[in-house]
């Protein structure tokens, strides 16, 4: 907790490179042998992306305890590029080795990096995720979907409404004294009870009840479960660890992936675009309705578009829902829609033109495009799924 931060932070320790290499080999071996491998992450996995931690020498809570202001600007979580650690975990997930990820981080980088929504519990919330308390519908945003807390830190209303039921949307951030989300916590415990290997990356393990998750694994040490902790500072669970690594998480994970013979993928911003064409009207009044929207892999709505424009159409839609009402009978087939998409631009994404051809048999069936943006060369790639 912030009020429990030390004015004099615990020292950060870094082991010699050869020691880290040796422990990376040990960890790689444990990962190969594991049947249910889980990872628990804290702020330390995002520091190399320019996002400060909390309890380090320049951590947010350390500075608060010392009455100091930050002297170097932090990178916006919306512009931060996922680190080597983030992308290594994505590759381990995609290879089927990482079964589940439990995170204390609110920066949204795990989801943005490619961790699937059913593979993660974000115990303290996500700055980019809001939820309808009435029907449970979730929304991922490419902006900070956080309440302003002007009335109370426990008033999580964001001011937006659910498009499914009209209920009020709430942010998912967990403030001090608030309970963790029941579903995410239950899933985290379930996976911890099944885990034969838990890797802690960049967490001080001092925040309860989140720190109970790796402890569940540590207490099953006599039954063969293994706990590995990588953090620069000492943690309360160090005595339970089978392997303790004092290193930055990127340094450890780069070495681990090399030992596993796996390449860490570069970050590609992935977006899923849904284009839904529906017929409307009859006879001379036949029309078609075109709805353009962002979706996640599980169908969760994702807000990443600033505007949508149909080429040769004057109208530019600058707010969701992006719906066009066009003249003509789309059921005849051959309808060609040229859409110019404008993005939020956190990574400098340029506009993208997508050409969507509608055949008669596809009317009423949403088409999905996979949009991939490479922030290193500024290029888009669009593929119809």
Mean pLDDT rounded to a whole number for the chain: 92
Question: With pLDDT > 90 as the criterion, what percentage of the chain qualifies?
Answer: 80
From 124, 156, 191, 356, active-site residue = 124
Using alpha carbons, select from 186, 187, 179, 231 the residue that is nearest to residue 208.
179
pLDDT in tens, 295-335: 999 999 999 999 999 988 888 999 999 999 887 655 566 68
- pTM here? 0.92
> What are the angstrom distances between the C-alpha of 382 and each of 138, 270, 271?
25, 10, 9
Using alpha carbons, select from 345, 332, 338, 331 the residue that is nearest to residue 380.
345
pLDDT in tens, 339-380: 999 999 999 999 999 999 987 767 889 999 999 999 999 999
Q: What is the pLDDT of residue 17?
A: 97
**Using 50, 70 and 90 to split pLDDT, how confident is the model at 71?**
low
Q: What is the pLDDT of residue 371?
A: 98
Instruction: Count Cα neighbours of 365 within 13 Å in the Cβ-side half-sphere.
Output: 9
Q: What is the pLDDT of residue 308?
A: 98
> What are the angstrom distances between the C-alpha of 93 and each of 36, 49, 74, 124?
12, 21, 29, 21
CB count within 10 Å of CB 228 equals 23
What is the mean pLDDT of the segment spanning 165-184?
95
Q: What is the pLDDT of residue 63?
A: 55
The alpha carbon of residue 251 and the mean position of all alpha carbons in its chain are separated, in whole angstroms, by 22
pLDDT in tens, 254-276: 999 999 999 999 999 999 999 99
Q: What is the pLDDT of residue 362?
A: 75
CB count within 10 Å of CB 274 equals 16
> What are the angstrom distances between the C-alpha of 204 and each of 104, 201, 237, 304?
11, 9, 9, 33
**Using 50, 70 and 90 to split pLDDT, how confident is the model at 2?**
very low
> What are the angstrom distances between the C-alpha of 194 and each of 29, 91, 97, 251?
19, 21, 14, 28
How many whole angstroms separate alpha carbon 277 and alpha carbon 367?
A: 9
Q: What is the pLDDT of residue 359?
A: 77
Residue 4 above 70 pLDDT?
A: no
Tokens 């994505």 label which residue? 90
Residue 156 above 90 pLDDT?
A: yes
What is the mean pLDDT of the segment spanning 101-116?
98
198 is in an annotated binding site: no
Is 108 or 57 the better-scoring residue by pLDDT?
A: 108
Is 372 or 10 the better-scoring residue by pLDDT?
A: 372
What is the mean pLDDT of the segment spanning 84-107?
98
How many whole angstroms separate alpha carbon 335 and alpha carbon 199?
A: 52
What is the mean pLDDT of the segment spanning 199-208?
95
Handedness of CA 75, 78, 83, 89 (dihedral sign): positive
**Using 50, 70 and 90 to split pLDDT, how confident is the model at 1?**
very low
288 is in an annotated binding site: no
Judge whether 124 counts as a catalytic residue.
yes
Residue 67 above 80 pLDDT?
A: no
How many whole angstroms separate alpha carbon 164 and alpha carbon 137?
A: 8
Q: Say whether 197 sits in a helix, a strand or coil.
A: strand
**Using 50, 70 and 90 to split pLDDT, how confident is the model at 68?**
low
Tokens 């010699």 label which residue? 16
162 is in an annotated binding site: yes
**Using 50, 70 and 90 to split pLDDT, how confident is the model at 166?**
very high
Q: What is the pLDDT of residue 361?
A: 66
pLDDT in tens, 39-59: 999 999 999 999 986 665 565
Residue 66 above 70 pLDDT?
A: no
Q: Domains, the chain, ranges and CATH?
A: 2-127+173-260 (3.40.50.1220), 269-384 (2.60.40.1970)
Q: How many residues does the chain have?
A: 385
């Amino acid at each position: 907790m912030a009020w429990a931060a030390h004015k004099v932070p615990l020292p950060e320790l870094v082991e010699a490179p050869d020691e880290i290499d040796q422990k990376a080999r040990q960890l790689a071996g444990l990962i190969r042998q594991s049947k249910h491998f889980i990872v628990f992450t804290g702020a330390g996995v995002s520091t190399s992306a320019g996002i400060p931690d909390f309890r380090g020498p320049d951590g947010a809570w350390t500075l608060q305890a010392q009455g100091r202001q930050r002297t170097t600007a932090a990178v916006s979580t919306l512009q931060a590029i996922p680190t080597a650690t983030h992308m290594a975990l994505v590759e381990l997930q995609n290879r089927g080795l990482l079964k589940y990820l439990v995170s204390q981080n609110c920066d949204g980088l795990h989801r943005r990096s490619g961790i699937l929504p059913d593979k993660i519990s974000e115990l303290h919330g996500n700055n980019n995720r809001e939820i309808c308390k009435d029907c449970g519908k979730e929304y991922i945003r490419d902006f900070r979907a956080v309440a302003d807390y002007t009335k109370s830190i426990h008033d999580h209303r964001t001011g937006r409404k659910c498009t499914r039921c009209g209920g009020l949307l709430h942010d998912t951030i967990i403030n001090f004294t608030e309970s963790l989300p029941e579903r995410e916590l239950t899933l985290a415990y379930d996976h911890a009870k099944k885990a034969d290997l838990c890797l802690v990356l960049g967490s001080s393990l001092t925040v309860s009840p989140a720190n109970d998750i790796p402890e569940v694994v540590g207490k099953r040490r006599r039954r063969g479960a293994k706990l590995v902790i990588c953090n620069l500072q000492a943690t309360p669970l160090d005595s339970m660890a089978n392997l303790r690594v004092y290193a930055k998480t990127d340094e450890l994970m780069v070495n681990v992936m090399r030992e596993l013979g796996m390449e860490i993928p570069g970050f590609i911003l992935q977006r899923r675009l849904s284009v839904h064409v529906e017929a409307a009207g009859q006879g001379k009044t036949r029309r078609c309705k075109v709805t353009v929207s962002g979706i996640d892999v599980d169908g969760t709505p994702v807000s990443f578009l600033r505007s949508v424009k149909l080429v040769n159409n004057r109208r530019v839609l600058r707010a969701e829902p992006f719906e066009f009402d066009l003249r003509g009978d789309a059921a005849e087939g051959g309808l060609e829609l040229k859409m110019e998409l404008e993005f939020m631009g956190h990574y400098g994404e340029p506009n993208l033109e997508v050409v969507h051809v509608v055949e008669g048999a596809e009317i009423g069936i949403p088409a999905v495009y996979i949009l991939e943006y490479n922030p290193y060369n500024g290029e888009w790639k669009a593929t119809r799924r």
